[in-house]
A and B are shown apart, each in its own frame.
Chain A
Amino acid sequence: AQSVTQLDSHVSVSEGTPVLLRCNYSSSYSPSLFWYVQHPNKGLQLLLKYTSAATLVKGINGFEAEFKKSETSFHLTKPSAHMSDAAEYFCVVSDFDRGSTLGRLYFGRGTQLTVWP
C-alpha cells in the first residue's frame, strides 16, 4: 500500500535562511510525487511535481525537490525563506505507475512552516 510520511509537523525558520521540509513515501509502483501548499483559508496549490527521470524538480516561488529512489524520499527545499512562504505544505503520492491515469492520491499529514522576521 502507498503511504506518505512528512517527518516534521512544524518547521520554523528565520527569513533569509534555508528551508527543508522532509517527505518519505512507500509505494508498490514508480509513482508520481507532488508538493502542494495551502495558505490560510485557501485551497491547495501545486508547488511542483515529479514525473520524469530528472530527479531534481523545480517548482514555483523558488522551491525545489529532489527525488531519491534509494531513500524513498522527496524532500522540499528553498535556499532563502520569505515571509510569504509561511503556510502548510503537503507531500502527495499517486496510486499508479507513472504515466497511468490518476487514481487514488495519498497525502502526508502536512508540515506547518513558520517564517520569523
Chain B
Amino acid sequence: EAQVTQNPRYLITVTGKKLTVTCSQNMNHEYMSWYRQDPGLGLRQIYYSMNVEVTDKGDVPEGYKVSRKEKRNFPLILESPSPNQTSLYFCASSFGQDYSPLHFGNGTRLTVT
C-alpha cells in the first residue's frame, strides 16, 4: 500500500532533550516536506526537500533540522526542543512537479514540557 509513515504518533518530552521524528514513503517520491499545524494558523512549512541531499527552508525552520540521505526517508530533528514547538507535525511527499498532489502521513503530536 502506498503510504507515508510517521513515527511516533504521540511524543511527550522535556525541554532540551533532543528528539527525532521519522518519516518514510514507499512511492519513490522526489519531494518531501514537513509541516506543523497549530490552531488558527493552518499548516506552516518547516523544511522541504526536492531530492536526496537537497533541502530548503520553509516558513518556520528555526529550531529544526532535517536530512535527506536516502530518497525514502526525511527525518525531522529537534536538537533542543522548547515548549513553543508543541504542535501537530505532518510529513508529506509527492513526485515533485507543482501539480503533483501531496500524500500526507497521519501526524505526530508533540508535547514539550
Contacts and interface: CB of A to CB of B under 8 A. Distances in A.
Most buried by B among A51, A104, A105: A105
Nearest to B95: A102
Interface in B62-113: 90, 92, 94, 96-102, 104-107
A9 B45 contact: no
Q: Is the interface of A mostly helix, strand, loop or mixed?
A: loop
Contacts of A49: 99, 101
B50 interface: yes
B33 A43 contact: no
Q: Is the interface of B mostly helix, strand, loop or mixed?
A: strand
A104 B98 contact: no
Chain B, interface size: which category? 20 to 34
Interface residues of A, number: 31
A102 B100 contact: yes
Contacts of B94: 102
A107 B106 CA distance: 18
Interface string B18-45: 0000000000000101010000111111
B102 A46 contact: yes
Interface of A: 6, 9, 31-32, 34, 36, 41-46, 49, 51, 90, 94, 96-110
Given A103-B56, A103-B98, A108-B42, 7 more contacts: A36-B102, A43-B104, A44-B43, A100-B98, A102-B98, A104-B48, A109-B41
| 10 cross-chain pairs, A with B, having the tightest CB-CB distances, nearest first | A43-B104, A51-B99, A109-B42, A46-B101, A107-B43, A107-B42, A44-B104, A32-B98, A94-B98, A110-B42
